[in-house]
Amino acid sequence: KGVVHRICAGQVILDLSSAVKELVENSLDAGATSIEISLKEYGEEWFQVIDNGCGISPNNFKVLALKHHTSKLADFPDLQSLTTFGFRGEALSSLCALGDLTVETRTKNEAVATHLTYDRSGLLTAERKAARQIGTTVTVKKLFSNLPVRSKEFSRNIRKEYGKLTSLLNAYALIAKGVRLVCTNTTGKNAKSVVLKTQGSDSLKDNIITVFGMSTFSCLQPVNICISDSCKVDGFLSKPGQGSGRNLGDRQYYFVNSRPVDMPKVSKLVNELYRGANSRQYPIAIMNFTVPTKACDVNVTPDKRKIFFSDENSILLALREGLQQIYSPSNA
Ligand code: ADP
Ligand code: MG
């Protein structure tokens, strides 16, 4: 199957967190070591992602927000070997269609930055010089404002959307090594409040301590499970009896090759083994699956949160055995 065929066109921007996710992933793809996410009214008014990545070169200004423009695919022979988060060129064009998009950017080859404004169809409508360090700032104002029903829904659910976003940012804060992440929110005339702030450490352990605190970390134990020659799981799980009374969605983080993903089957298995062995509690789980890029397909859904393993059953089986060793060593 051709690359184009497998790039299913679909709606990428479903809500606030998928919008910010796309921008953060663009910053990561651009090699940023510092990413700042600013929200106004929890993102309802506007949100902005500021990075110190490579910037966007002037010959891309016009095409940047056009559908299917991507600068990334050319670097890879096929989708199988893809290592960047993005490749479809859909995020910026979708954001244009759903809100007011401006971009301010500067590469190392430019002496000054450029401020760019795009219209709903992704056409560049204004361009002016601006002061900025090397990197890119993308701002989206009034997301969904042109879709009355969705806009109402968005306003009504904004705190929930915001909660989902902070949980997603936690995922990046945990896994993105060496990347400083800051998220702030401003409401009314109040001063900025800091939602999340990490130093960009190089270890998962330090990142867990930054995000959840030392007392949470001390309730965890390391997991290292070898699934096959080329496949393994590393991370941290609650020690027996040290879980949480509720199944808090924001306490389990799964990654495949360091990409945040949803893994309902794995989550179910982890809960089942933990609860079966020890308690009525739910474990905290932070687990990264390292698998050959050939063995998985993250392109099942447009937002890339779902993942398809070519050999899912054997992965689940090996995981079950590994977790049994940890939680009920006597019957393993
Ligand atoms: P994709 O990430 O799939 O390529 P996007 O619509 O997300 O598509 O972005 C389009 C293009 O804009 C990218 O391929 C990249 O060239 C450029 N771009 C977007 N955000 C950034 C950023 N923060 N830094 C550098 N380049 C960026
Ligand atoms: Mg992208």
Question: Which residue's CA lies nearest to atom 15 of ligand 1?
Answer: 71
309/293 Cα distance (integer angstroms): 10
What distance in angstroms lies between residue 302's CA and the mean position of ligand 2's atoms?
Answer: 11
CB-facing half-sphere around the CA of 21: CA atoms within 13 A: 26
Task: Give distance in angstroms: CA of 91 to centre of ligand 2.
Answer: 5
Banded model confidence at residue 103, pLDDT cuts 50, 70, 90 = very high
| Chain CA centroid to CA 220, Å | 23
Please tell me the predicted confidence (pLDDT) of residue 99: 94
pLDDT at 325: 85
Q: What is the pLDDT of residues 138-188, one digit of tens each?
A: 999 999 988 888 899 999 999 999 999 999 999 999 998 899 999 999 999
Question: Which tens digit of pLDDT belongs to each residue from 271-304?
Answer: 888 887 556 788 999 999 998 877 776 665 656 5
pLDDT at residue 258 greater than cutoff 50: yes
Ligand 1: centre distance to CA 70 (Å) = 6
The ligand that comes nearest to the alpha carbon of residue 93 is: 1
Backbone φ, ψ for residue 69 (5° rounding): -80, 125
ipTM: 0.98
For residue 237, give the nearest of 255, 251, 256, 258 by alpha carbon.
251
Best residue for ligand 1 mutational test, from 18, 26, 137, 179 (most atoms within 8 Å of Cβ): 26
Average pLDDT value for the chain = 86
Other beta carbons less than 10 A from residue 82's beta carbon: 18
The pick from 70, 98, 110, 136 for probing ligand 1's pocket by mutation, whose C-beta has the most ligand atoms within 8 angstroms, reads: 70
For the cut 70, the answer to whether the pLDDT of residue 241 exceeds it is: yes
> Is the predicted pLDDT of residue 82 greater than 80, yes or no?
no
Q: Is the pTM of this model over 0.90?
A: no
| Ligand 1 mean position, distance from CA 85 (Å) | 10
CA dihedral of 79, 81, 83, 84, whole degrees rounded to 10 = -30
Q: How far is the CA of 273 from the centre of ligand 2 (A)?
A: 37
Percent of the chain predicted with pLDDT > 70: 84
Which residues line the pocket of ligand 1, CB cutoff 6 A? Answer: 22, 26-27, 30, 51, 53-56, 60, 64, 69-72, 86-92, 136
- Amino acid, single-letter form, for residue 281: Q
From 13, 29, 102, 124, mutation site for ligand 1 pocket: most ligand atoms within 8 A of C-beta: 29
Q: Compare 99 and 82 and report the one with higher pLDDT.
A: 99
Distance 130 CA to ligand 1 centre (A): 20
Looking at residue 183, its pLDDT comes to 97
Is the model more confident about 45 or about 68?
45
